[in-house]
Amino acid sequence: MDLTRRAALMTSAAIAANVIDPFKAFAQQTPRKGGVFVVHYGAEQRQLNPSIQASTGVYIVSGKIQEPLVDLDAAGNPVGVLAESWEAAPDGKTITFKLRRNVTWHDGKPFTSADVQFTAMEMWKKVLNYGTTLQLFLTAVDTPDPHTAIFRYERPMPLNLLLRALPDLGYISAKHIYEGSDVRQNPRNLAPLGTGPFKFVSYERGQHIIADRHDGYWKGPANLDRIIWRVITDRAAAAAQMEAGQLHYSPFSGLTISDMARLGKDRRFVVSTKGNEGNARTNTLEFNFRRKELADIKVRQAIAHAINVPFFIENFLGDFAKLGTGPIPSVSTDFYPGANTPQFPFDKAKAIRLLDEAGLRPGAGGTRLSLRLLPAPWGEDISLWATFIQQSLGEVGIRVEIVRTDGGGFLKSVYADHAFDLATGWHQYRNDPAVSTTVWYRSGQPVGAPWTNQWGVTDATLDKIIDDAATEVDAAKRKALYGDFVRRANGELMLWMPIEQIFVTVITARARNHSNTPRWGSSSWHDLWLAE
């Protein structure tokens, strides 16, 4: 273990104090028109349609091209985008959206309620990871006129839940592009058509993605001429390009921890967690229950007890992270149930005892079990965490082989082919457990849907708690149900979420109007501009 890393981490707490305030420093300046904004794109996912794949790795591109019904304003409150207003019936089973008029797709065709109906029923409900659970009880979307969409539910849909979800799970796709095709295989998924301030130009795999300003945007033309997302998988190379002025922005903790700490002391850059409040994340350890040994809860508990999480945080992540307590992070003031839920503190002796009780006695060379671990390629912390897991489990007789892939390969291996024993990546918490959290536990997810329950396990008790919470309109009762959810989820240890973090942004100090919403990296960047 490289304990010298701690010296670099010690600077992380001071990052915010050493940079220009991203909210107040340039508010008085007049926006400059023109310019090209270059973005670090660290891992390709072989998908760019946010109506089909919910992911910051998709939103960072297509959030500028396609638009949701609703987004979040600077205070984190729902604000209309393609929807102008909304109203829920008293029983919670009908929610009506009034849509924005005079909006056109980039090919000139009008945006209408038919696009909303098609996207909701054919994409959100059937294939969108997270969306399939959120819209489980959606039965129809009525379109009485081109500017009205009426969502009808079998069970109540809390309006506040839907509005929290739609910034991530409410992107609209064009019906005339997708109707009659396999929506998952449509070539437009890699050449998105939208209504947003930028229009797709080209995508060269392994090289770059380009989008240009759409002068016919309904809100008026954006400030920037062009956005280029440059594919750079080597984090050190990305940091070097930031320093050389060849990149303007590295999102979602895309650089190494030491480089983020170092650039945080350079006044040419803003390094901050601002603009990421809506994307709190936890590091995961996922178990494939199809492997009989991992279907034994004693083995899963032993694995958790064998890993010294506080030591890992202190020596590898520092002030970028804190100890997690389960699938609902402590930043969720509305739903966090506290730490008084089943936990698995480091206890090597207990881990060994549990493995013995599970019948996994040491064999030749002291090995009890051999497992394949697939880490997601999203951030340095995931790679470090995978190596730490490997070393920790080796000390209790579990041999771990780390299998590294690119982004698309990871998603396919884990969520489509189920070709893994252990996997590790990020769970992103998006304002409400029903948006992007309970899908990691709810059974019945479509095969291949990323970041959902693909573990080969069904827990009927947990399924019922999840469904009841998602359809409970009383806020106090919802919170209580999510307390039950965390206790059951932690107790059964279907997967483990032991570390909490918030993404870190590195951006040029020339950027203006950045980091000004809780999900800024995923937003439209209509008002973003570059000072000379």
DSSP 7-35: HHHTTGGGTGGGS--TTTTTTTSPPPP--
218 in Cβ contact with 103 (< 8 Å): yes
Instruction: Work out the pLDDT band at 385, boundaries 50, 70, 90.
Output: very high
Segment 85-95 shows an average pLDDT of: 96
* Structural domain spans, the chain: 34-42+197-272+504-530, 70-178, 278-502
Instruction: Work out the pLDDT band at 142, boundaries 50, 70, 90.
Output: very high
Q: Tell which residue, 257, 256, 251, 309, has the closest CA to residue 282.
A: 309
pLDDT at 382 over 80: yes
Q: What is the pLDDT of residue 364?
A: 85
Segment 106-110 shows an average pLDDT of: 98
Q: Which two three-digit tokens encode residue 84?
A: 């102008």
For residue range 471-494, list pLDDT tens digits in order: 998 989 999 999 999 999 999 999
For residue range 212-236, list pLDDT tens digits in order: 999 999 999 999 999 999 999 999 9
Q: Which CATH class is domain 278-502?
A: alpha beta
Q: Which CATH class is domain 70-178?
A: alpha beta
Q: Which two three-digit tokens encode residue 123?
A: 């994409």
| 22-36, 395-409, 443-457, 459-473: segment of lowest average pLDDT | 22-36
Q: What is the pLDDT of residue 1?
A: 39
Segment 105-113 shows an average pLDDT of: 98
Q: What is the pLDDT of residue 478?
A: 94
Q: What is the pLDDT of residue 277?
A: 87
Q: What is the DSSP letter of 347?
A: -
Q: What is the pLDDT of residue 161?
A: 93
For residues 162 and 286, give the distance between their C-alpha atoms in angstroms, rounded to a whole number.
Answer: 28
Segment 305-312 shows an average pLDDT of: 98
Segment 197-207 shows an average pLDDT of: 97
For residues 315 and 363, give the distance between their C-alpha atoms in angstroms, rounded to a whole number.
Answer: 32
Segment 150-160 shows an average pLDDT of: 96
Segment 45-61 shows an average pLDDT of: 95
For residue range 413-452, list pLDDT tens digits in order: 999 999 999 999 999 998 899 988 999 999 999 999 999 9
Average pLDDT along the chain: 93
pLDDT over 70 for what percent of the chain? 95
- CATH code, 34-42+197-272+504-530: 3.40.190.10
Q: Tell which residue, 424, 445, 316, 313, has the closest CA to residue 371.
A: 424
pLDDT at 19 over 50: no
Residue 371 burial by CB count (10 A; 0-12/13-18/19+): exposed, middle or buried?
buried
